[in-house]
Structure 1
Amino acid sequence: MRTGLFCTYENPQRDYRSAYAEQTKLVQLIEALGFDEAWVAEHHFNPDASSPSCLAILAHLAARTTRIRLGSAAVLLPFRNPIHVAEDVATLDILSDGRFDFGIGKGGPFPIQNKHFGVSKDNSRAKTLEALSLIERLLTEDGVTFEGEFFKAEDVSLTPKPLQTPIPTFIATSTADAVKAAAEHSYGVMGAPPFPLESVRGALSLYREIAPQGDPKLILIRFYHLAPTHTQAVDEAAIFLRPFLERMQATTAFMQPDWTPWFKLDRMIEDSLIGTPAEVRDKVLRIEAELRPRSLVLKPLSPSVAKRRADLEAFGETILALLGLPPEAGLVPARCS
């Protein structure tokens, strides 16, 4: 099982320059600690998750790292021109020397995104899958002609082409239609932090039912927070999670009502990596045994950079070794320039 960091570019001080610099240093830290990958979210119109241009951010990280893989989590395809996305993906794959993983999604339950980009929530999933189909062809073929419900292309040859063929591709989803598409095309699946582990298990079961010989290549992203005692860890995590849960309950009630029951504090804490180092270690081992993810990706909860750094260092020291990856594995000098 690989390990990684989920980057949403928190900005509690409302200083975007500092937020970007601090997150870059955390990515360099996890590379030095022996983690395997960093994933950057795409969020729009949210000062507390200030990463609207995730592919541009990943190009910057490609120049600041040497070993870890870099992934989008996820490019929101309904809001983008697929030809532009394909060009950016190919360029980024070259700039990262073939270290790019392409995660895509339809966008979370945030009405403001659909409003400002002029995309109906009713067709965003169909638009996502159609865009991905065109992008995949553009990355691997020349003279692509395509006519779908939402997008068209006529004799398009992408310049440049990516280094990797195919580009590793993952769909952020737990819905049946998207899981079915992932299984049929050998894409991986991505379970975001709010998705219950129960829904992730269901997605994996459906994937394997559709493609018995396939590999869902699960990217499992979980909230992460350590403290000396279980009570302290839960109490601190609750402070960070409550505003998120309130926001998600309000937006899912309109955009994705079947998700609303997911956003309960006790359930969220139970499905996250929250507790003492020993408790988190044991939960990681259970997740590895039960779900067999390709990657376990951490989303530190604290807005404090010092606390996030300390928790990531503790994971490297106490848990990577348990997984058979000593903290010095893959150790490279952090490039802080």
Structure 2
Amino acid sequence: MRTGLFCTYEDPQGDRRSAFADQLKLVQLAEKLGFDEAWVAEHHFNANALTPSSLVVLAHLAARTSRIRLGSAAVLLPLRNPIQVAEEVATLDILSEGRFDFGVAKGGPFPLQNKHFGVSSGENRAKTIEALGLIQKLLNEDGVHFEGEFFKADDVSLTPKPLQTPVPTFIATSTPDMVRIAAERGYGVMAGPPFPLESIRDNVRFYREVSPSLDPNLVLIRFCHFAPTRAQAIDEAAVFLQPFIERMTVTTARMQPEWTPWFKLERLIEDSLIGAPADIADKVSRMKSMLQPRSLVLKLLSPDIFKRRTDLERFADLVAGHC
């Protein structure tokens, strides 16, 4: 099982230069410690997550690293022109010397995204599926002709083409219908930190039922926080998780009510890597046995850069052997 770092570029000090510099150093540390992957989120209109242009950030990381794979987690396809996305993916794959993993999503329950980009929430799923189909054709074929409900291409040949053939592709999803599409097309599946482990297990099982010969290549992203004791870790993690829970409870109640039960503190802690080193090592082993993920990716909870570095080092020293 591979290990990775999930990057959302928080800005707790209100200093965007420091936020980007600190996260770069953390990715470089992850590479030095032997982590296999770094994934960058895409968020819009969020003062606590400074990555609306995740592919630009990944290009910067590609220039400042040499071994670690770099992934988008995830490009929100309904908000983008798929021809331009394909061009950027190909360019990034070259700049990273073939180290890019292409994660996509339809976007979560965030109404400002739909409002400001002029996208109906009811169209997100269909636009994602159609855009991804066109992007894959552009990355792998010449003279592409495509006519869909939302996007068209008339004899388009991408220049340049990516180094990887194909570029590894992952869909971030919690729904069986999107899991089915991933399985039918041979894409991997990505599960964010709020997704319950039981529902992820069901989706992995469903993927294998749809395509028995394929591996879902699950990228499992989990909250992570170390402390000397489990009780202390839970108390500290609750401080970081509670604002997130309150914000997401309000948002999901309006736009994605089926997600609302997920945002309970006890459930999030149980499904996360929160505890003393022995607790976290045990959870890593259980997640590996339960889900057989391709990658276990850490979303470090503390906004303090020193604490993040320390937790990354602890995971590498004490837990990575269980992977």
TM-score (normalizing by structure 2): 0.99
Equivalence for 1:55: 55
Deviation at 1:150, TM superposition (A): 0.5
**Any gaps of 5 or more consecutive residues in structure 2?**
none
Distance 2:254 2:141 in 1: 40
Equivalence for 1:306: 306
Higher relative contact order (CA 8 A, sep 6+): 1
Deviation at 1:123, TM superposition (A): 1.2
Equivalence for 1:235: 235
Deviation at 1:321, TM superposition (A): 2.9
Equivalence for 1:296: 296
Distance 2:316 2:322 in 1: 10
Deviation at 1:151, TM superposition (A): 0.4
Equivalence for 2:17: 17
Deviation at 1:322, TM superposition (A): 3.6
Equivalence for 2:193: 193
Distance 1:291 1:120 in 2: 34
Written as runs of structure 1 = structure 2, the 5 A alignment for 1:108-119 is 108-119=108-119
**Any gaps of 5 or more consecutive residues in structure 1?**
324-337
Written as runs of structure 1 = structure 2, the 5 A alignment for 1:222-301 is 222-301=222-301
Amino acid at match of 1:256: Q
- Whether the 8 Å CA contact 2:284–2:322 is kept in 1: the answer is no
Distance 2:252 2:273 in 1: 24
Equivalence for 2:81: 81
Equivalence for 1:334: none
Distance 1:262 1:255 in 2: 14
- Per-residue CA deviation, residues 35-77 of structure 1 (Å, 9 max, x unaligned), is 0000000000001011100000000000110001000000000
Equivalence for 1:162: 162
Identity over aligned residues, as a percent? Answer: 71
Deviation at 1:290, TM superposition (A): 1.1
Equivalence for 2:34: 34
Q: Which moved more, 1:90-99 or 1:208-217?
A: 208-217
TM-score (normalizing by structure 1): 0.95
Amino acid at match of 2:218: L
User: Equivalent residue of 2:166, what SS?
Assistant: coil
Distance 2:179 2:190 in 1: 10
Q: Which structure carries more helix by proportion? A: 2
Deviation at 1:156, TM superposition (A): 0.2
- Per-residue CA deviation, residues 72-108 of structure 1 (Å, 9 max, x unaligned), is 0000000000000000000000000000000000111
Deviation at 1:266, TM superposition (A): 0.3
Q: Which moved more, 1:200-209 or 1:31-40?
A: 200-209
- Per-residue CA deviation, residues 150-208 of structure 1 (Å, 9 max, x unaligned), is 10010000000000000000000011211010000000000000111111111111111
